[in-house]
Each structure stands twice: as structure tokens, then as C-alpha cells.
Amino acid sequence: MPLSYILSQLGKKMGLNPADPGQRTTLLDKVNTAAKELYEYCDMAGCYEEEMFKVNGNQTVGFPDYMGNIRAMREGYSKLAINLSQMRPRYNQFNWKDAWRTWRQKGLHPLQTSLTNQSCLVLKVAAVENPPIQVQVSGPSPGSSMASETVIMTSTTMQTVNTYLDVAALTKSAVSQYDVIVSDIDGNQISYIPNNKVKALFQIMDISEAPWYYPNTSPLLGWVEVLYKKALPWFQNDTDEFPAPGYDDIIVYKCLQSWREDQQDIQGAIGWQQKATSVLAQIHENANRGTNDCVSLVANPHDAILNRTGFGRDYYFAYRITGR
């Protein structure tokens, strides 16, 4: 259900009016905080999406803004799974196998591609809004470890005052009607802030070398199937939806938990937390009641590091001659 339902239910219980601008701001702060906490708590039913991407090996890639955390990948041609690793194991003395079919998570960054021409940035919108959107840009510049400025989009094309060597943060004052497109001075797009979000953040992945195949083996060569968690939007408009359907009441319960905590009502906060946890477990159980789950009972690879001690196949013979 849309945000209007959450605000209506929450307003009734908190005694606030969502139509009042000041009280609506208070409600939206609670809703966005609760939605973020709930969405990061677990992977609920309906939060996944899968998509095919053309990814070349041995490079760093920035994925679209609507992609959240990656959960699984496999090659489109061979159907072989691709491993997902952190950055640190690469630097171990005996690092994990990452030459082929391994992606390393490099975190979130406001730029989708590297800034090659370190100069002023150009910001564009489809139309000027009322009031104009304010865009905050932060990053290192010549002579400053961190420079910041606010660009008010009074025109469809604006330019920063500072010259940036990189961009550390790219945000805007509120959700808007149009995306904010960010380009370098040469016109190459390096980032964008979606209209339904207040900051630019992209998943950055270090792609390992791809296995070599004979040319024209299959049109699926280089394509990767990616299972990912949808990115969480910023709730502002009445029509905004939570990425996973059916969890609106739990967001209301989490908001009431936070509200009780603000009032130092610990028992009331615990009660709403238990209510949210109970309903969440019921939704999970109902969503997975008809699915087939595979359980793999195999030996851990660490068990093969050292040879097993014992009699092996001669166990029964050894038992007989030793008298145990």
C-alpha cells in the first residue's frame, strides 16, 4: 500500500495530522527511519529482483541506482556461479581464489564512473521546479582536502564554482520531480540523483578476469544474471511504495516503537517491537510455505586441509585385531 496508508495509520495512533506540513515532516522522519531499519533487518519476500547485465572482465563497474545489495550471480552462458567477496581477502598471504568468476564489493560511491577531467561539474534537470532544487556537492579540490557548495537549480543547466578532483558526496534538499544529471566539463555523465532519492549512491564492483571462450560461441557470452535486493527509496510522496509489498503495518509498528522510545516508555517500545517481529515472522512463513528448500549436507572445505586421522577403510579390521 502507498505511503498515504502508513501516514494515516500512524497519524491516528500518534495524534498527528499528515495534512499539516509540520506534523507531516515529523511523521516522514519516523517512517523513513523505520523503513530503513526494517529493510536492513532481513531479506523479506518480494524484495528481490533479477536482471541480465553485459559485464566485461577485469574492470571496476558501477551498477544502476535501483540495485541494492547483490545476493547472487551466475554466467549467462555456462550457468556457473560467480563468487562475491569482500576487498580484504585479496591481500591475505594465501588469498582466496579470485582470478576467475569473482566479484569484489568495493562499497557505495556517489559517482557511477570515474572523474577523468578534474574540473568544474555540470548539473542538469529537465525543468526548473518551484521551489528550485538545491544540490549539495562535496569533494577534494585543488588546495582543499574537502570542499563543499550548494547549487540552486534556478536554470536547467548549472555549473559548480569549485573545481573537483573527486566527489565524496552528492545530495539534494528533497525528492523532486526530475532527476539531477551530473556531468564533467566535457559533457560526460558521471552520476545522477534519482528524483525519488535525496542522494546519489551506486554499488561499485571489482570484476575479475573472465574465462576465455572461443569467439562467437554463444550470444550469451559476457552476460551475467544478477540477483539483487531492490534499493530502498526515500519516502516523501503519498504514492511512494515500500519495495516489498505487504509490510506497511510493520513499518507502522516500528514507528510506534521509536515514538515510545522517545517518550522513555520502554515497556511500550518493547511491546511494539515484539508486535513487529511477530507479524514479520508470520509474513515470512506464509510466503515460504509452498516453496521447496534445498539443504546441502556436505563436508566443509576446511575439513580437507589436513588428512583425516584414523584407520579409514580398515576400521573394522583394526577393531578386530586391537580388541576395542
Q: CA neighbours within 13 Å on the CB side: how many for 44?
A: 24
Find, among 186, 193, 146, the residue nearest to 166 by Cα.
146
3-state secondary structure of 48: strand
Mean pLDDT over 182-211 rounds to 90
Same structural domain, 79 and 215: yes
Q: Which domain holds residue 275?
A: 3-46+244-287
Residues 7 and 77 in one domain: no
Residues contacting 204, CB < 8 A, separation 6+: 60, 61, 62, 63, 105, 106, 107, 108, 109
Same domain, residue pair 214 and 97 = yes
DSSP states along 143-191: TEEEEEEEEE-SSSEEE-SS--SS-SEEEESS--SS-EEEE-TTS-EEE
CA 107 to chain centre: 9
pLDDT at 291: 80
Task: Supply 145's cell numbers.
Answer: 582536502
Q: What pLDDT is stored for residue 258 in this prediction?
A: 93
DSSP letters along 95-132, please?
Answer: ----SBSEEEEEEEES-SS---S-S--EEE-SS--SSP
Q: Are residues 160 and 23 in the same domain?
A: no
Are 68 and 213 in a shared domain?
yes
CA distances 297 to 84, 291, 294, Å, are 22, 19, 10
Output 101 or 195, whichever has higher pLDDT: 195
Residues in the chain: 324
Quick check: pTM over 0.75? Answer: yes
For cell 518480494, the residue is: 46
Range with lowest mean pLDDT among 219-228, 244-253, 284-293, 297-306: 297-306
**pLDDT tens, position by position, 275-309:** 999 999 898 888 888 887 776 666 666 666 666 55
Detail the DSSP E strand segments found in 212-293. 223-230
Residue 272, in any domain of the structure? yes
Looking up cell 509540520, which residue turns up? 22
Residue with cell 575479475: 208
222 and 256 belong to one structural domain: no
54 in any annotated domain: yes
For the chain, the domain total comes to 3
Q: Percent helix, strand and coil across the chain, each rounded to 5? A: 25, 25, 45
The reply to whether omega before 110 is within 30° of 0 (cis) is no
- Residue 42 scores a pLDDT above 70: yes
Confidence of residue 317 (pLDDT cuts 50, 70, 90): very low
pLDDT band at 221 (very low <50, low <70, confident <90, very high): confident
Number of CB atoms found within 10 A of residue 6's CB: 26
Are residues 167 and 25 located together in one domain of the fold?
no
- The reply to whether 139 falls in a domain is yes
* pLDDT, position 285: 86
**For residue 322, pLDDT beyond 50:** no
Confidence of residue 323 (pLDDT cuts 50, 70, 90): very low
In terms of domains, do 98 and 212 share one? yes
Residues 176 and 215 in one domain: no
**In a shared domain, residues 280 and 165:** no
pLDDT in tens, 87-99: 877 777 665 666 6
Which of 144, 148, 172 minimizes the C-alpha distance to 160? Answer: 148
pLDDT at 300: 67
Burial per residue of 95-134, b for 16 or more beta-carbon CB atoms within 10 angstroms, e otherwise: eeebeebbbbeeeebbbbeebeeeeebbbbbeeeeeebbe
211 and 101 within one domain: yes
The reported pLDDT for the residue numbered 128 is 95
Cell reading at 62 = 558501477
